[in-house]
Amino acid sequence: MTDELDRVRDHYRATGLTDRLKNALAVFGPEQQRLKPEQLATLDQFHTRGLAATAELANLAAINAGMSVLDVGSGVGGPARFLAETYGCTMIGVDLSEPFVEAARYLTTRTGQDAKVSFEAGSALALPFEDSRFDAALLQHVAMNIADRPLLYREIRRVLKPGGKFATFDVVLNGGDPLYPVPWAKTLGESFLLTADATCEAIEAAGFGTLVRRDDTAAAKAWFAELRAAGPPSLNLGVVMGQGFAEFATNLGRNLMEGRLGILTAVFEAVPVN
């Protein structure tokens, strides 16, 4: 385990997370009551623009029922549950944080999706899957925690079938030094941002061709402005990340508004290797 991975794992340590979720979800009724994935959306979509961003990305990647899809850095599993429910695909999530994986499994049992959605603890830099296993892979707000981008994208390419889709939605460097703490990092020590151009170059160098590339910074800024005006929903990512989360989110909004950071949406196709 490298120092970098240890620091990232520490950031997402989330002690007692599953119990906090159990308590927070009592607002929906007793423990045995089945929940709908959408009911969890304000606390289980751990990225800018929440569920709307996941839905758009899945649509761009043309996810369908026959697919086996990997969510790399799956967090507490919201994107995986939403895709399985919406498209009928089979989902596997992998995440560095064991408390997140435990919480993702708990929430998936609460939504009754264990047959279609599962999670494993592991690193995106050494994915615990055989070559050419998946039809598509998702990476949402994860790459900024990973220094070794060539290895990250090679691993994703390795586990995809030739022609498989890779859909990414990530924070990128734009025009200045970001303010910390932010949702993925308390300090620069856990944050490894690249520009949109450098991100796409690294992905293509790992054996992908670009299908879609979009700058979604304006949509993210509008979303943060709405959030600021309306105030956070009562169930929010503070349940997952603790009280500091409000400051993390405010700083991300400011970094976007001040042009320090941007948001990249892109979909790639795994180029067949000879």
The residue (of 46 and 208) whose beta carbon lies closer to ligand SAM is 46
47 is an interface residue for ligand SAM by CB under 6 A: yes
Residue in the shown chain whose Cβ atom is closest to ligand SAM: 75
Between residue 220 and residue 249, which ones bind ligand SAM under the rule CB under 6 A?
none
The answer to whether the CB of 113 falls within 8 A of the CB of 37 is yes
Q: Does 207 participate in binding ligand SAM (rule CB under 6 A)?
A: no
46 binds ligand SAM (CB under 6 A): yes
Determine if residue 86 is left, alpha or beta; phi over 0 gives left, psi from -120 to 50 gives alpha, anything else beta. Answer: alpha
Binding of residue 184 to ligand SAM (CB under 6 A): yes
Q: Measure the CA–CA gap between 235 and 246, rounded to whole angstroms.
A: 13
Nearer to ligand SAM, 45 or 174 (CB): 45
| Residue pair 168/143 in contact by the 8 Å Cβ criterion | yes
157 binds ligand SAM, rule: CB under 6 A: no
Asked if 130 and 159 count as a contact pair (C-beta separation under 8 A), the reply is yes
Q: Which is nearer to ligand SAM, 32 or 116 (CB)?
A: 116
Amino acid symbol at 214: R
Q: Does 45 bind ligand SAM (CB under 6 A)?
A: yes
Q: Cβ contacts of residue 250 below 8 Å, gap of 6+?
A: none
Q: Which helix (H) or strand (E) holds 183?
A: none
**Would you say 20 or 272 has its CB closer to ligand SAM?**
20
- Which of 37, 78, 99, 164 is the binder for ligand SAM (CB under 6 A)? 78
Q: Judged by CB under 6 A, which stretch of 33-41, 84-92, 107-115, 142-150 contacts ligand SAM?
A: 142-150
Q: 3-class DSSP state for residue 88?
A: coil
